[in-house]
């Protein structure tokens, strides 16, 4: 109440405001002379930090991720406090919308077996990748974006944008993934997708075979067959695409590059313990090295 009166006192005067609000002027004067409480002082320290974290992470974090990030930075604070202050500041996280299928396959075509059976778990990097396509409406027409994701860490290992739903779009994303993981062992890697014709194309299958990967395709033909990839597409749409309008492929491509960098290097992921994918993989390799060294002693 005193905050509102302080903001309006020059315009209306203290007594008229108190009369309208049925608030005794003496109470206002007593409160104005009182030292701010410890909670208020703490709130004033936290609000700029909360706003900073929210802005640094593309204004998509809700209270849970803002709270986690603050504590990762050594700023100890209760989650309920972050939620309360975000409400006061008018800050909220992005809400994910419904995803739509963008790949449709030929039901009569032969396809590889489903080696995943909706169990999207991996014990290490490069054991299971999932791939999918999504679309972006721009002022100059549709832009299609293909992604390849490592299930272990949720890291985007490859992506590509194009103006057409051609086989080369998916293949270029795969080539980026193979280049990103160059020098790492890929023998036995399972590459899973839906039944989209781009992923069943002969050139795509041959490239996977050359890399030592095993092809897997969803068997039942609904969104759950490739749920992890479609979940990423939903995040991509909610956290980037649906928040602005797009001129054409160039700005979609540039902003997707920035988004993927943030997603891999800094975004906290609940499925991997609220750490970024790059950190999760680095921890795995560090622990594997320690185990290997211990085994030689």
Averaged pLDDT of the chain: 91
Where does the pLDDT of residue 99 fall: very low under 50, low under 70, confident under 90, or very high at 90 and above? low
Confidence of residue 101 (pLDDT cuts 50, 70, 90): low
Cβ pair 215, 191 in contact under 8 A: yes
pLDDT classification of 27: cutoffs 50, 70, 90: confident
- Mean pLDDT calculated for residue range 12-20: 85
Q: Is 133 in contact with 146 (CB distance < 8 Å)?
A: yes
Model pLDDT, residue 76: 96
How are strands ordered across the β-sheet holding 214-217? 155-162, 141-150, 128-138, 190-193, 214-217
- Return the HEC string of 23-60: CCHHHHHHHHCCCCCHHHHHHHHHHHHHHHHHHHCCCC
Residue 204 has pLDDT above 60, yes or no: yes
CB 160, CB 173: distance < 8 Å? yes
The answer to whether the beta carbons of residues 161 and 253 sit under 8 Å apart is yes
- For the segment 32-52, the average pLDDT, to the nearest whole number, is 88
Residue indicated by tokens 């800050």: 91
Give, in order, the Cα–Cα distances in Å from 249 to each of 171, 234, 243.
Answer: 18, 19, 16
Average pLDDT over every residue of 205-211? 94
Is the pLDDT assigned to residue 279 strictly greater than 60? Answer: yes
Structural domains for the chain: 1-89 (no CATH), 128-289 (3.30.420.10)
Residues 106, 108, 111, 117: what is their CA dihedral angle, to the nearest 10 degrees? 80
How far is the C-alpha of 43 from the C-alpha of 291, rounded, in Å?
Answer: 45
* Tokens (6 digits) for 285: 């390799």
Q: How confident is residue 78, by pLDDT bands cut at 50, 70 and 90?
A: very high
Q: Which has more pLDDT, 2 or 143?
A: 143
SS3 61: coil
- pLDDT for position 210: 94
Burial call 100-127: b when 16+ CB within 10 Å, e when fewer: ebbbebeeeeebbeeebeeebebeebbe
Q: In sequence order, what are the beta bridge partners of 133? A: 146
> What is the reported pLDDT for 274?
97
């Amino acid at each position: 109440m005193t905050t509102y009166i302080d903001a309006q006192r020059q315009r209306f005067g203290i007594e008229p405001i108190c009369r309208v609000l049925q608030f005794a002027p003496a109470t206002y004067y007593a409160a104005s002379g009182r030292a701010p409480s410890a909670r208020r002082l703490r709130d004033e320290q936290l609000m700029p930090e909360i706003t900073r974290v929210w802005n640094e992470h593309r204004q998509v974090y809700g209270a849970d991720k803002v709270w986690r990030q603050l504590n990762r930075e050594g700023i100890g604070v209760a989650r309920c406090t972050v939620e309360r202050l975000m409400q006061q500041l008018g800050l909220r996280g992005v809400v994910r919308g419904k995803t739509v299928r963008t790949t449709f396959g030929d039901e009569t075509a032969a396809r590889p077996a489903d080696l995943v059976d909706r169990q999207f778990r991996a014990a290490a990097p490069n054991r299971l990748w999932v791939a999918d396509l999504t679309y972006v409406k721009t002022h100059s027409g549709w832009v299609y974006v293909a992604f390849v994701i490592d299930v272990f860490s949720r890291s985007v290992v490859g992506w590509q944008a194009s103006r057409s739903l051609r086989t080369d779009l998916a293949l270029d994303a795969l080539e980026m993934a193979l280049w990103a993981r160059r020098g790492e062992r890929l023998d036995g890697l399972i590459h899973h997708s839906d039944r989209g014709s781009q992923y069943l194309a002969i050139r795509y299958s041959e490239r996977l075979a050359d890399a030592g990967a095993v092809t897997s395709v969803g068997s039942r033909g609904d969104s759950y067959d490739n749920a992890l990839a479609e979940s990423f597409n939903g995040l991509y749409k909610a956290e980037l695409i649906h928040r602005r309008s797009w001129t054409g492929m160039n700005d979609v491509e540039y902003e997707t590059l920035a988004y993927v960098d943030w997603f891999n290097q800094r975004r906290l992921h609940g499925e991997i313990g609220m750490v970024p994918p790059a950190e999760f993989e680095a921890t795995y390799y560090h622990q594997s090295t320690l185990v290997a060294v211990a085994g030689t002693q």
